[in-house]
Structure 1
Amino acid sequence: MSNAEIVVHIVDDEDSVRSSLAFLLDAAGYAVRTHASAGEFLKIAEGVGNGCLVTDLRMPDIDGIELLKRLNALSAMLPTIMVTGHGDVQMAVEAMKNGAMDFIEKPFSKETILESIGRAVDRAGANYRAEQNRTRVVEALALLSDRERQVLAGVLRGLPNKVIAFDLGISPRTVEGYRATVMAKMQARTLAELVRMTMDAGVDSTAIAT
C-alpha cells in the first residue's frame, strides 16, 4: 500500500475547520474523510486499518484526549495529530502519553500541518505494511505441519541441525529437509530472512511449537 492510499481522518466539531483542513489536504493530494464528532469517528474506528487521525482537543461530549483513550481501549489507535486553540504543556503531555505523535496549537501555518500530516501518513503506511506482514506470516505458519513447526522453533532459537535432530529424535538430514520445506512455505529465500520475518511479525518460538 502506498502512502497515497492512506486516509486522513479529520475529527472536529466546527464545520469551518473541517472544511478548510479537508480542502488543504485534498489539494495536497491526500485522501480525506471528515467526522463532526469523536463519537461519529468511533463508530468506524475499528475498521480503519489504513489511516491517520487529526483531531481537535476540545469537543463536546468526547474530547480529544478521551478519544485517544477509547481508541487505545479498542486497539484501534492511529498515528494522531492533536490540534487545539487552547493548548498548554499539561495538555500536550497528556496527549502524548495517550498516543498522539504531535500536538499543534491553532492558528497553525499550512506548512506546519502538512509537515506533521506527512509524518503521520508515513507512519500509518509503515504500520499497515507491518500488520500485513504479520498476517502473512501467521497464515503461512498455519500451513506448517506439527513437525515443521517444531523444526522452525528450533531454528528460531538458534539451534544447529544436530541439536534439533537430537531433541526431536530424527536425523540431521531429515531436519535439513524440514527446514527447506519450512522456508518454501514461508517464502523465505534465506535463513536470515526467515528469522527476520518471524521476529518482525512478533512470532514467539515457544508459541510456534505448541
Structure 2
Amino acid sequence: MKPVIHIVDDDESFRTATARLLSAYGLKVETYESGDQFLDRLPDCEPGCVLLDLQMPGLSGPQVQHRLSELAPLIPVVFLTGEGDIKAGVDAMKAGAQDFLEKPSPAAVLMEAIDRALAQYERRRAEHERLQELRTLVASLSAREAEVFGLIIRGKLNKQIAYTLGISERTVKVHRHQVMEKLGVGSLAEAVSIAASIDLTGRSAPWPGI
C-alpha cells in the first residue's frame, strides 16, 4: 500500500502549494483544513505521516498530536509552523513528534523529514506486529501454563512454583516445558524478555500468578 502524506493546515494556499510539491515527487497526498477534519477522516491502518500546523482554529497542532497518539500511534507527526519557537519544538518532540520545521521549508529539507517519518512508520509497524505476535503466543497458554509462566518470569524456582500452585515439581516441569515450547524460547532470559516486551513483568495480568 502506497503511503499517504496528510497535510493538516488552515492556510489554503500553503496546503495547495505543499500538496502540489509532494505530488510532483510522486507522493500520495491528502489535505485537511483543520485538526478536527483530519481526525474525523482518520485513516485506518494506512501507512504514511502527518504534516501538522502548530496553530489552527479549533484543535491546535499539539492537541491533534495527543489525540493521534491515542487513535493512530503508528503515524509519525512532522510539525510545520510559521509561529514556532524553541519551547514549542521541544514540547512537540517530547510528545513524540518526528520533526519540527519552520515554514516555508526548502523542498529538500521537507522531503528529508518526510523520508525519516516514513522510515519511522515502518519501524513502528514492524515493532507493533512483533508485539502482536508475542501477545498471541502468550494468549495461547492454558490457564495453568499462564500461572506457571507468571511465576517463572518472577524468578521462582520449580519447587517454589509447585508449593504456590499446590502441584508436584514434576508437573511444574511439564508445564514449564510446554510454556517454553509454545513461546518458542529455550531459556528463562528469553521468556522474561517476552514478558517485558508486552509489559507483563511488575504488574498484574489477566492470569493468576502473573
* TM-score interval, normalised by the smaller of the two chains: 0.7 to 0.9
- What residue identity is the alignment partner of 2:125? Y
Deviates more, 1:23-32 or 1:132-141: 23-32
Question: Structure 2 vs 1, CA of residues 122 and 196 (structure 1 numbering), >3 Å: closer, same or farther?
Answer: farther
* Partner Cα distance (2:97, 2:13) in 1: 23
The alignment's TM-score, normalised by the length of structure 1, stands at: 0.78
Partner of 2:83: 86
1:137 to 134, 139, 152: 134
Q: Deviations over 1:34-79 (max 9, x none)?
A: 323211111133844644321112333333233224335x454442
What residue ranges of structure 1 are gaps of 5+ in the alignment? none
Looking at secondary structure, tell me which structure has more helix per residue.
Answer: 1
Deviates more, 1:127-136 or 1:22-31: 22-31
Larger RCO, structures 1/2 (Cα 8 Å, 6+ apart): 1
Q: 1:97: Cα distance to partner?
A: 4.6
Contact 1:130–1:200 (8 Å) recurs in 2: no
Partner of 2:109: 112
Aligned length, in residue pairs? 205
Question: Structure 2 vs 1, CA of residues 141 and 11 (structure 1 numbering), >3 Å: closer, same or farther?
Answer: same
Q: Deviations over 1:129-164 (max 9, x none)?
A: 233233333333332221100111122112233332
* Partner Cα distance (2:156, 2:26) in 1: 50
**% same residue:** 37
- What residue identity is the alignment partner of 1:209? W
The alignment's TM-score, normalised by the length of structure 2, stands at: 0.78
SS at match of 1:10: strand
Contact 2:154–2:201 (8 Å) recurs in 1: no
* Partner Cα distance (1:83, 1:48) in 2: 23
Partner of 2:185: 189
* Partner Cα distance (2:4, 2:160) in 1: 49
Deviates more, 1:87-96 or 1:144-153: 87-96
Q: 1:120: Cα distance to partner?
A: 2.0
- What residue identity is the alignment partner of 1:189? V
Q: 1:177: Cα distance to partner?
A: 1.9
- What residue identity is the alignment partner of 2:144? R
Residues 1:121 and 2:118 are matched in the alignment: yes
Residues 1:207 and 2:185 are matched in the alignment: no
SS at match of 2:98: strand
Q: 1:24: Cα distance to partner?
A: 4.4
What residue ranges of structure 2 are gaps of 5+ in the alignment? none
Q: Deviations over 1:137-194 (max 9, x none)?
A: 33333322211001111221122333323322333332222123223333x2323433
2:49 to 32, 52, 56: 52
* Partner Cα distance (1:65, 1:111) in 2: 25
